């Protein structure tokens, strides 16, 4: 609803993705960061999901605490393959009991070394199955988002088939698409056009990941098979050992991608923060979406005094 309202008002908005840290101090740091980043006015935050251990419980806890303590709406990721149905049912019930009303319904990656879905390990084969189950069981209680792949989940040669499957997720009850990260804006805009022509009418939020360091960027884009324009590699190569220069360039790239999308009418932007604050903040500042930390702004309770934002 919030996304549709922002789109109706034709105003830009943004959301932030986080993942559950592995250690207790990491969790405390993330809470501090989420709280500070709420100052940046995200429309909602997302928390990723992994079955096993305490990870999925922590995802729910991060969502629930962010909503009740920091007042920001949370979108909880949930994967469905190779998982017992009762665990999925239980997790959805817990989400509802904790006031979480947004689920990003995903298939999840198949276990390492597996290329085929194993029906003996769970009933859900595709994200569509989870979307359908949530919609049929909970009616309109949950807002359901799904993943979209501007460069294809199956690979570029199967993009049309992939779009058909995305349409099936909408038909099963999905309300919103959040895309895989990408760096080729023209390709994203062409893909959105194709989705619209295929009858996908729900909002599509592009996934933006500001580049943080050379090694991590290379690994991530290789792993997710993301095409990186030559020009970006050319700019990264001479600065690859200078982390600060890479981060600064990453901010420049993300801001210029958003500007290009904004000119094409895109209004919502989903940031893969990798639990970091600075790059996302700097991109939003660079675009003028939020005031700069150094900006002197009047205090509302005494306009004659001003204070630097902490």
Binding residues for ligand FAD (CB under 6 A): 48-50, 77, 79, 104, 106-109, 126-128, 147, 153-154, 162, 165, 168, 178, 180, 207
Q: Could you say which of 17, 73, 151, 285 is catalytic?
A: 17
Q: Which residues 6+ apart lie within 8 Å of 184 measured at CB? A: 150, 151, 227, 228, 229
Structure tokens of 40? 């940046």
Task: Give the whole-angstrom CA distance, residue 26 versus residue 18.
Answer: 12
The smaller minimum CB distance to ligand FAD, of residues 126 and 289, is found at: 126
Phi and psi of 170, rounded to 5°? -65, -45
Q: Is the distance from CB of 5 to CB of 35 less than 8 angstroms?
A: no
Terminal Cα distance for the chain, rounded: 32
Q: Is 87 left (phi over 0), alpha (psi -120 to 50) or beta?
A: alpha
The smaller minimum CB distance to ligand FAD, of residues 37 and 146, is found at: 146
The smaller minimum CB distance to ligand FAD, of residues 204 and 246, is found at: 204
The smaller minimum CB distance to ligand FAD, of residues 109 and 186, is found at: 109
State the minimum distance, in angstroms, from the CB of residue 80 to ligand FAD: 8
State the minimum distance, in angstroms, from the CB of residue 178 to ligand FAD: 4
Structure tokens of 162? 């992939």
Asked if 230 is an active-site residue, the reply is: no
State the minimum distance, in angstroms, from the CB of residue 201 to ligand FAD: 18
Task: Give the whole-angstrom CA distance, residue 75 versus residue 207.
Answer: 15
Q: Is the distance from CB of 122 to CB of 83 less than 8 angstroms?
A: yes
The smaller minimum CB distance to ligand FAD, of residues 51 and 249, is found at: 51
State the minimum distance, in angstroms, from the CB of residue 198 to ligand FAD: 13
DSSP state of 209: -
State the minimum distance, in angstroms, from the CB of residue 111 to ligand FAD: 11
Residue ranges of E strands in the chain: 13-18, 44-47, 74-79, 102-106, 143-148, 176-181, 204-208, 268-272, 296-299, 302-308
Active-site amino acid positions? 17
């Amino acid at each position: 609803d919030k996304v549709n309202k922002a789109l109706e008002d034709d105003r830009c908005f943004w959301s932030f993705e986080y993942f559950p840290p592995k250690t207790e101090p990491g969790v405390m740091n993330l809470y501090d960061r989420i709280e500070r980043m709420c100052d940046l006015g995200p429309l909602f935050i997302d928390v990723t999901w992994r079955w096993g251990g305490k990870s999925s419980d922590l995802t729910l806890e991060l969502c629930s605490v962010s909503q009740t303590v920091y007042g920001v709406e949370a979108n909880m990721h949930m994967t469905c393959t190779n998982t017992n149905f009762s665990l999925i049912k239980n997790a959805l019930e817990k989400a509802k009991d904790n006031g979480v009303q947004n689920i990003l319904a995903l298939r999840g990656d198949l276990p390492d070394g597996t290329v085929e879905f194993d029906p003996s390990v769970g009933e859900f084969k595709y994200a569509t199955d989870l979307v359908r189950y949530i919609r049929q069981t909970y009616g309109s209680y949950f807002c359901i988002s799904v993943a979209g792949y501007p460069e294809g989940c199956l690979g570029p040669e199967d993009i049309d088939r992939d779009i058909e499957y995305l349409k099936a997720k909408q038909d099963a009850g999905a309300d919103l698409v959040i895309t895989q990260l990408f760096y080729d804006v023209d390709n994203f805009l062409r893909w959105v056009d194709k989705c619209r022509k295929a009858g996908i009418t729900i909002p599509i939020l592009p996934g933006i990941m500001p580049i943080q360091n050379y090694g991590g960027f290379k690994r991530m884009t290789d792993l997710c098979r993301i095409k990186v324009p030559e020009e970006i590699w050319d700019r990264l190569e001479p600065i690859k050992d200078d982390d600060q220069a890479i981060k600064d360039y990453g901010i420049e790239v993300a801001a210029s991608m958003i500007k290009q999308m904004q000119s094409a009418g895109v209004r919502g932007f989903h940031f893969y923060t990798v639990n970091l604050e600075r790059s996302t903040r700097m991109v939003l500042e660079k675009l003028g979406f939020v005031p700069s930390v150094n900006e002197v702004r009047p205090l509302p309770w005494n306009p004659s005094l001003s204070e630097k934002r902490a």
